Structure 1
Amino acid sequence: MRAQYLIPVAVVLGGLALSSFYVVDEREKALVLQFGEVTTVRTDPGLGFKVPLIQTVAKYDDRILSINTQPLEVTPLDDRRLVVDAFARWRIADTVRFREAVGTGGEAFAKSRLDGILNNAIREVMGSVPSTAVLSDDRTALMNQIRDQAKREAASLGVDVIDVRLTRTDLPTQNLAATYARMRAEREREAADERARGGEAAQRVRAAADRTVIELTSAARRQAEIIRGEAEAEANGIYAEAYGRDQSFFAFTRALQFYSDSLKPGSTSLVTNPSSLYFDYGHFVQSLGESGAPVVAAQ
């Protein structure tokens, strides 16, 4: 009879012996609890011992953890609403305090508490600055303020907030259309100003160019008239010298000039007798030499 009880007893004792040992991973921290009270804190990895059935072990992640906040509407100083997303890096700094704060809820309960802490910190910090500071490229100072405030509030949970980053800062959907319209109007006004300034500058350049053209043209015409007058004077001098040397040549050129002036195509009608002196060059020259012009009947 005793032999048949030895095996179950041995199994129970073996189970108790095995349950009295626990292993702490290098990525974990462990608390040994006796009736809910912390008796031992294990931060080093390795094998540990606990009293079976009386003591239990609670393990927590010792790595840096992350949490992402839900989109949150905030109102900066200029009453321009913004939608903000953020994420934080945190870790369990004080295991005993963490256990006391979250109880058996563990890391899931701690994340819900941290989410509220981060939201409050974001609202308070963002509400103390204008929207231009939030929408600027350099938001490091704001993120540091949010981190420091969240760190102070999370210390009661035994949690250390390492970093907070803003991932998105946008306008609410219902405000985007009005904002884009205002931005478009501002850009169109700037474009109109630029076009007006450009048109004014172009008008000045055009006026200067026109004035320069007129001045150059006037100077060129004046120079051309001077050259033409000098040339005509020189030509008249040459003609006068030539006419003075030979009277018959002068009469001949005057006769040719008379014929050319009196017989212009399409504009001259001449009625005369065939025996008129008009067709007798000798008498024409003689009469031209005497009176300066032949006697003809022209119409």
Structure 2
Amino acid sequence: MKRLTYLLPIGIVAVAIIMASVFIVDEREKALVLQFGQIKRVKEDPGIALKIPLIQEVVYYDDRILALDTDTIEVTPSDDRRLVVDAFARYRIEDVVKFRQAVGVGGLPAAETRLSSILNAQIREVLGADQVTSDTILSEDRRVLMNRIRDQAQVQARALGLNVVDVRLKQTNLPEQNLNATFERMRAEREREAADEIARGNEAAQRVRAQADRTVVELVSESQKEAEIVRGEADAERNGIFAAAYGADPEFFEFYRSLSAYEGAIKGENSSLVIAPDSEFFDYFNGAQGTAK
């Protein structure tokens, strides 16, 4: 009985020591075994491992890809149009030993503070470089700029044991005080472009209208020319018919021409004709004795 009394505490202590000696690394983690603050071992593979209890401790670090949003900053591209920019980055702890040595007990908060400073510095450097305008930053070409920021930030982040996987610009806007001036300038440019388009349209319409007027004049002139030719040919044919009729029966032709003259001269309700009754004009109105009827 006494032996059982002694063995029970020993067993409890032994179990406690075993439990304190065992640690488990999750597949989403990496672990460092520290002894009095010094790195003794790195455990990157998931599974169970041992450590010296009370002397060694285990520090876990996330092995997944993490996200970081940078602070909003102002940059000045080469065209001197200031932009408000912020970004987000995807990063991963690649070397836990360098990471521990760089940030110490500060862990992820300290690492993200330093990484954010690196990213902001690279954003200012890349977006403020020569040949980089605000139009480039606001266009689809900024993908090249984001890759350049990522590559340059990655070089400095290696000293922290980090791997910068990706960098994206979330916001690229004009400062509030510059928006109105920019909008006015954009409006003026669009109005100028609209005025140019209207002027070009009016010029084209004037050319079309002038061409149409010219075509109308040419068509009318050609039609009048053809009409005059037809009319001349008809008059010639009519005169030929008259001449043939006159040659066939001169007396009838003279009678017909006199009737046409009477019809043209004595026409209308208010027509007046002053002429001597014995005039040759009335030859076909005179009787046998030459008196007018």
Q: Is the TM-score greater than 0.5?
A: yes
SS at structure 2 position matched to 1:48: strand
Deviation at 1:66, TM superposition (A): 2.1
Distance 1:174 1:108 in 2: 34
- Mapped contact 1:91–1:161 kept (Cα < 8 A): yes
- Mapped contact 1:28–1:43 kept (Cα < 8 A): yes
The alpha-carbon distance between structure 1 residues 284 and 13, as it changes in their structure 2 partners (threshold 3 A), is farther
SS at structure 2 position matched to 1:40: strand
- Mapped contact 2:68–2:89 kept (Cα < 8 A): yes
Distance 1:271 1:78 in 2: 99
Unaligned runs of 5+ in 1: 288-293
SS at structure 2 position matched to 1:110: helix
Distance 1:249 1:25 in 2: 135
2:66 paired residue number: 65
1:107 maps to 2:116: no
Distance 1:19 1:265 in 2: 140
Letter in 2 for 1:240: A
Deviation at 1:286, TM superposition (A): 9.4
- Mapped contact 1:102–1:157 kept (Cα < 8 A): yes
The alpha-carbon distance between structure 1 residues 38 and 90, as it changes in their structure 2 partners (threshold 3 A), is same
Question: 1:252 pairs with 252, 255, 260, which one?
Answer: 255
1:195 paired residue number: 198
- Mapped contact 1:252–1:285 kept (Cα < 8 A): no
1:165 maps to 2:168: yes
Deviation at 1:284, TM superposition (A): 6.4
Distance 2:106 2:288 in 1: 140
1:87 paired residue number: 88
SS at structure 1 position matched to 2:286: helix
SS at structure 2 position matched to 1:137: coil
Deviation at 1:264, TM superposition (A): 1.4
Q: Which runs of 4+ in 1 moved over 6 A?
A: 277-280, 284-287
Distance 1:295 1:112 in 2: 135
Distance 2:141 2:51 in 1: 52
Deviation readout 1:219-246 (Å, 9 max, x if unpaired)? 2212211221221122122112212332
The alpha-carbon distance between structure 1 residues 254 and 246, as it changes in their structure 2 partners (threshold 3 A), is same
Q: More displaced, 72-81 or 10-19?
A: 10-19
Unaligned runs of 5+ in 2: none
- Mapped contact 2:67–2:89 kept (Cα < 8 A): yes
Aligned residues: 288
Deviation at 1:96, TM superposition (A): 1.7
Distance 2:138 2:154 in 1: 24
Distance 2:250 2:148 in 1: 116
Deviation at 1:271, TM superposition (A): 8.8
1:39 paired residue number: 40
- Mapped contact 1:84–1:168 kept (Cα < 8 A): yes
Distance 1:197 1:285 in 2: 85
Distance 2:233 2:78 in 1: 85
The alpha-carbon distance between structure 1 residues 177 and 109, as it changes in their structure 2 partners (threshold 3 A), is same
Deviation at 1:32, TM superposition (A): 0.9
The alpha-carbon distance between structure 1 residues 170 and 286, as it changes in their structure 2 partners (threshold 3 A), is farther
1:118 paired residue number: 119
Deviation readout 1:150-203 (Å, 9 max, x if unpaired)? 122222212122222223322223323322322222122122112212222221
Letter in 2 for 1:250: F
Distance 2:35 2:175 in 1: 52
The alpha-carbon distance between structure 1 residues 85 and 50, as it changes in their structure 2 partners (threshold 3 A), is same
Deviation at 1:55, TM superposition (A): 1.3
Distance 1:258 1:284 in 2: 19
**CA-based RMSD:** 3.1
Distance 1:278 1:130 in 2: 102
SS at structure 1 position matched to 2:54: coil
Distance 2:142 2:288 in 1: 110
Distance 1:271 1:11 in 2: 161
Between the aligned residues of both structures, percent identity stands at: 58
| TM-score normalised per structure 2 | 0.86
Deviation at 1:282, TM superposition (A): 5.7
Distance 1:215 1:285 in 2: 60
Distance 2:283 2:44 in 1: 145
